[in-house]
Structure 1
Amino acid sequence: MIARIWKGKTKIEHLEEYTDFMKVRAIPDYAQVDGFIKLTFLKRIDKDYAYFELITFWENMEVIKGFAGNNFEKAKYYSEDKNYLIDFPERVTHYEVFAE
Structure 2
Amino acid sequence: MTTTPTIARIWRGRTTPENADEYESYNRANGVPPLLKTALGVQLLREDRETETWFTTISYWADMDAMTAFTKGDPETVHHLPRDEDLLMELPDRIQIHQILVDQQHLR
TM-score (norm 1): 0.89
Q: Report what 1:2 is aligned to.
A: 7
Segments of 5+ residues of structure 2 without an aligned counterpart are: 1-5, 104-108
Q: CA deviation at 1:41?
A: 1.3
Select the structure of larger CA radius of gyration.
2
Query: Is 2:1 the partner of 1:12?
Result: no
Which protein has the bigger strand share?
Answer: 1
Q: CA deviation at 1:70?
A: 2.3
TM-score (norm 2): 0.83
Comparing 64-73 with 17-26, greater Cα deviation is found at: 64-73
Q: CA RMSD in A?
A: 1.2
Q: Which runs of 4+ in 1 moved over 2 A?
A: none
Segments of 5+ residues of structure 1 without an aligned counterpart are: none
Separation in 2, partners of 1:32, 1:56: 11
Letter in 2 for 1:22: N
Separation in 2, partners of 1:70, 1:41: 23
**SS in structure 2 opposite 1:48?**
coil
